Amino acid sequence: MDSLTFGAPRFLRHLMDPSSKKVPVVEFDVAKILDELHLTMDQFIDLCILSGCDYCENIRGIGGKTALKLIHQHGSLENILENINRDRYQIPDDWPYQEARRLFKEPVVLTEEEQLDLKWTAPDEEGLITFLVDENGFNSGRVSKAIQKIKDFKNKSSQRQLELSFKPVVNASAPIKPKPSASRFIAACHLVYQDPRPVVLLPGYILFWFETELSTSLTSSKLKCIIILIEILLPQ
């Protein structure tokens, strides 16, 4: 849902869920959300921060309903902090809500002039474990399992490329179509962001901008690697 706070006009939930779960895809339109909740975009951002986000602690005891009520009553986080019952709600020390707000309103992204050189090499296991487990407290077993999945997918991709190199080309002039899963992913990015440059968002960590040419060349295994990375970064 962070993508809406970053300014995406639409968000599709459950898009990448396995078909076996039979969970319908749900579309969230930020304009309709703001209208139905009677909020401005700035108030929506404050609501998300108050409800709990990746960039700062939440105020214990305040969930979505209470946060919405407080935003309606006071209009902004600054006014809420001035009027909130501090005996009932304990504000974290040096609560960096303003920094969180700035990150949502002014995210760090690559410009058109910058080139993103992605190389699909073997994962840096030691570096990932140090960053995710030692520095950020992720479950070591879960991280190790995810790393192994990435390695397995990369090996399958390499084997597939080797097999393809020995197969005759039927029609060299025919356009190469992306894998079904990659095609679905690209179409979703176009729909959500209404921009020719799809976006992959790792919540609370990195915002990658992919040029169309790079996105359409994503293989199924590379896409799965991205999904795995998103899965290990998302809270349980």
pLDDT in tens, 80-106: 999 999 889 999 888 999 999 999 999
List the chain domain ranges: 2-105, 125-233
Q: Mind listing the pLDDT tens digit for each residue in 157-212?
A: 555 554 555 455 555 555 554 444 444 444 444 444 444 444 444 433 333 333 33
| The residue to which tokens 């009520």 are assigned | 69
Give the model's pLDDT for residue 226.
Answer: 55
Task: List residues bridging with 26 in a β-sheet.
Answer: 13
pLDDT for residue 236 is more than 50: no
- Cβ within 8 Å of residue 156, ≥6 positions away: 221
Provide the pLDDT for residue 29: 93
In degrees, to the nearest 5, what angle opens at C-alpha 218 toward C-alphas 217 and 224?
Answer: 170
pLDDT confidence of residue 96: 93
CATH topology of domain 2-105: DNA polymerase; domain 1 (1.10.150)
Give the range among 122-136, 197-211, 213-227 with minimum mean pLDDT. 197-211
Q: What is the pTM of this model?
A: 0.53
**Alpha-carbon gap, residue 93 to 57, rounded angstroms:** 10
What does the pLDDT average to over 206-234?
Answer: 47
> What pLDDT was estimated at residue 153?
80
| Torsions phi, psi for 199 (to 5 deg) | -125, 140
What is the separation of C-alpha 214 from the centre of its chain, rounded to a whole number of angstroms? 19
Q: Read off φ and ψ for residue 162, nearest 5 degrees.
A: -65, -40
AA identity, residue 117: D
Amino acid in position 215: S
pLDDT in tens, 60-87: 999 999 999 999 999 999 999 999 998 8
Rounded to an integer, what distance in angstroms lies between the CA atom of residue 49 and that of residue 47?
Answer: 5
**Percent of the chain scored above 90 by pLDDT?**
33
How far does the chain reach from its first CA to its final CA, in angstroms?
A: 15
Share the mean pLDDT of the chain: 75
137 pLDDT tier (thresholds 50, 70, 90): confident
pLDDT above 70 as % of the chain: 66
pLDDT value at position 223? 54
* Neighbour tally for 55: CB within 10 Å: 16
pLDDT at 154: 73
Distance (Å, whole) CA 54 – CA 212? 28
Task: Return the pLDDT at 230.
Answer: 53
Q: Torsion angle, CA of 160/166/170/176, rounded to 10 degrees?
A: 30
DSSP class per residue in 88-130? TSPPPTT--HHHHHHHHHS-----TTS----------HHHHHI
pLDDT at 139 over 80: yes
Determine the Cα–Cα distance for residues 106 and 120; give it in Å rounded to an integer. 29
